[in-house]
Structure 1
C-alpha cells in the first residue's frame, strides 16, 4: 500500500494541508519552522493509518488535537487516499479496489445540559470517516494482513523509555506507530526480538531452530552487506545477552555504547525489519538477501514509513546520505520524513519536498517545485538556505553581512587606488574570512 494523497483539516496547528504523491515509493520530505506542525503531521497521518478502532491504544487526549479557533461544526479530520500495490493482493485477506480512502474524524459532541457541571463538558471521540473503505471494523484486519505502515518519532532509542508502552504489543498496527506518539517510548522490542531469536536458534529441542538461525544470518548479512552504518562499522555478534558491533579500527562495542547517531538509525532500522517480519512472511522479507551477491541486499516489500526529525543526532554527511541509504535498502517503501536540515532533501530528486508554513507566516504550505527544489537537491548548503524555505537571513549573520559590505567597500577603494595602508591589512583579513567573496 501507498499513500496517493492526504488531507489534514483543523488538527492542532494545521488549519489545512494537502499532499499528493505522483510517485509514492521513495523519499518525501516535509520541512518547516519550529511550531509549524511537523510532529502534528506525523501523528495525524499515523492516526489515520492506525484507524479509529485502535486509536484508544495511542493514549492521546484527542480534545487537545482540535485546532484552537475551529468551530464545533468545522471538520477536524485526516483523510488518506490509499493506492494498492500489486503485492497487497497476495498478502491481504480482502481485496480492495486499486484506490480507496481511509481516515478519521475527531468529533466534538455537544453535552447534554444538566445542572451538573461535570456532565456539561464537550465529549471528544475519534470516528472513522464515512468514506473509509472498508468499514472501520474490517480495516485493522486488512492492515495486519499485509497492508504495512509504521511511524517513528524523534526520540529513537533502545533504553530510557516507559515500559508501560509494551502493553500495546498485542496490537501490531498500533505498535508499529507508537513511537510517534510519546517522548517516553523506547524501541527495545527489536533488541529483545534478536536476543530471543538467538536463544531459540540454540535450543537443541526446538524443531524450528534452523529457521531461526537462517533468519539471524539473513538479518546480519542485510545489515553488514547493505552498509547501513558508515566507517566500515559492522554487526559482529548477536548473543542472548548483547549485540556487538566492530568499528573501522576493529574495536568491539556493545550496541548500547554506540553513538547517539548510530543508535538512532539502528533502532529505527532494526524495528522496521522486525515489523516487516510481523506483517509479511519471514521468508519474503529476506528473499533477495538470500540470493547473495552485489546488488541483492535490499528488501522490496511495499508500505509506508513516516519518520519525525530524521536528521536527529546525525552528522551532516550522514544527513545527506540517509535518504539514499534507506531508499536503496527499502526501494518499495514510501518514506515520508520531517526535518530541519536541507541536507536531508538531497535524496528527493525522484520524490518530493513540502513546506509546512508556521502560524502567522505569509508563506503558504505546499509542495516545493522548480528552481527552489533544484537548489535544495543539487545546490550547496548556502544555495539551499538561500531559498528562504528555511526562513529569511539564516545563511549569514547580521555581523557577517556587515563585514561583507565592508569587504566590498575596501575592494572598490583598492581598485580605485584610494585605499590607505591601514585598510590594506583589514582588506587582507576580510579576504581570508570570506575567500568566495574576494573577487566580487
Structure 2
C-alpha cells in the first residue's frame, strides 16, 4: 500500500489543501515536512494516521476531536487516495488487478453540524460511506489481516526506563494500535522487548528454525539502524536485553534517550511488519506507509544525518512520511525525496515544494526558504559582523569608527577563518583539478 494524494479541509490551521505524494504513477518513498512550530506538521501526520487506521479504529484514536476544526460552524474533511500493493490481499469485484481507493472522513466539533444534508451529527469523526471504504474495512483494515501495512509514531516515542514483566504472548492487535503513539504521549513502545524475549523463550523451549530466523532477522534489522559500535549482544535469563556499546555491555533500560528512541521505533516497526507479512522471506522489504513525527528528536547530529538513509536501506519499499526541525534529516533523505515546507500567514497555510535540498551544506539549508534563517551565525556573532560591515562601508569614517574597526578586525578575521577551513575534501578537489590540468598539458 502507498499514498498517492492527501487532502485536508477546515482542520486546525488548514483551510483547504491537497498534496500529491506521487509522480508519474510512482510514490515518493520519502516525504519530509518542514515548518516552524505551530504550522501543522503533526496535524498532517495525525490526519493521515486516522485515515490509515481504518474506520473501526478512528474513535479509539480521536474519540472527541476538540479543537480540530478551523471554523467551528463548518464540517472538517480529510481525504486520501491509496494504492493496493503487490502483496496486499483482496480483489475488488471481479478484477484481479491492483486498485486505487479514494475515501474521506468528515469531522465535527462541539456545534451540531449537518453532513451532506443527512441530519446533524454528534462531535467526532464520521466516515463518508461508499463502496470503496466498505471494501477496505472488510479486506484491508482488519485486525488480523495481512498486508495493507501502515503505522504511525509520535514525537514521544522511546522505551520506558521502568523494568517490565514480559508476558510470553504476541497476539495481533487492533489496527489502530499501530498509531497510538501519535495520539497518546505516555504510550510506551515496549513491544520491541516483548517479541524478542518471546522468540528467545520459544527457541529455548523447542528450537524452532523459523523462530531462530525471525529473531535473527529482527536483530540484524535493528543493528543496521544503530550507530557503528552499537549492536545487540544477548538476552539474559532474567529477561533483560543487553546491548554492546563500544564493547561495554548495557541493558536496554540504561541506554541513552537517543538509542532507546531508535530501538523503540525500529523494534516496534519490525515486529508489526512481521505480523503483516508472516510468509515473506524478508518482511522489511515489503511495502507500506510509515509516519514519524520529529524524526530528529533525541538524536546527535551525526545520527540525524544518517538515519534517513539507514531507514531507507533497511525498509526500501516503505513510503516514509516524516516531520523534522533538522536540516541534516532533511538533506539526508536523498535526491529522490519530496520535501515540503509549510508556511502560515494572514492568507492561510500553504505547502511549498523545496528543490535540491540534498545538495546543500547545513549552513546553506538553514538560510534557504526551507528554514528561513537570515544567518547561520549566532545572534551575537551576526551582530558583530553587521557592525563591522556598516563601519567598513561608511564613506566618512570618524576616528572613533577607525578605532572600532581596528578593534573588530582580528575577531572578524578569526570568525571567517574558523568558518572556512580547508578540509580534506577541498584538498582532494584541488589535487584532482591539478592532475587534470597536467594531463591536458
Whether TM-score is above 0.5 comes out as yes
2:287 paired with 1:322 = no
> Paired residue for 1:403?
384
Work out whether residues 411 and 427 of structure 1, in 8 Å CA contact, stay in contact via their aligned partners in 2.
no
> Paired residue for 1:350?
336
> Paired residue for 1:154?
155
2:269 paired with 1:272 = yes
After TM superposition, list the pairs within 5 Å mapping 1:286-297 onto structure 2. Answer: none
Identify the match of residue 331 of structure 1 among 316, 341, 351.
Answer: 316
Work out whether residues 159 and 190 of structure 2, in 8 Å CA contact, stay in contact via their aligned partners in 1.
yes
Identify the match of residue 371 of structure 2 among 390, 404, 407.
Answer: 390
Cα separation, 2, equivalents of 1:422 and 1:394: 23
TM-score, with normalisation over the residues of structure 1? 0.80
Q: 1:437 to 1:316 in 2, by over 3 A?
A: closer
> Paired residue for 1:294?
none
Give the gaps of 5 or more residues in structure 1: 113-120, 287-298
Corresponding residue SS for 1:284: coil
2:72 paired with 1:86 = no
2:124 paired with 1:125 = yes
Corresponding residue SS for 1:365: strand
Identify the match of residue 431 of structure 1 among 396, 409, 413.
Answer: 413
Cα RMSD, aligned residues only = 3.3
User: How many corresponding residue pairs?
Assistant: 397
Work out whether residues 355 and 367 of structure 1, in 8 Å CA contact, stay in contact via their aligned partners in 2.
yes
Q: Kindly provide the CA deviation profile for residues 381-436 of structure 1, in whole angstroms up to 9, marking residues without a partner as x.
A: 221121133245363455433311333356669xx9x9957743431122112337
2:295 paired with 1:300 = no
Give the gaps of 5 or more residues in structure 2: 114-119, 421-441
Work out whether residues 2 and 84 of structure 1, in 8 Å CA contact, stay in contact via their aligned partners in 2.
yes
Corresponding residue SS for 1:402: helix
TM-score, with normalisation over the residues of structure 2? 0.80
> Paired residue for 2:196?
194
After TM superposition, list the pairs within 5 Å mapping 1:24-423 onto structure 2. Answer: 24-67=27-70, 69-72=71-74, 74=75, 76-88=76-88, 91-92=89-90, 97-107=98-108, 123-131=122-130, 133-135=132-134, 137-138=137-138, 139-141=140-142, 144-159=145-160, 171-203=173-205, 206=206, 209-224=208-223, 227-239=224-236, 241-248=239-246, 250-285=247-282, 299-346=284-331, 347-358=333-344, 360=345, 365-369=350-354, 373-374=355-356, 376-393=357-374, 395-408=376-389, 423=405
Report the more deviating stretch, 51-60 or 266-275. Answer: 51-60
Work out whether residues 66 and 110 of structure 2, in 8 Å CA contact, stay in contact via their aligned partners in 1.
no
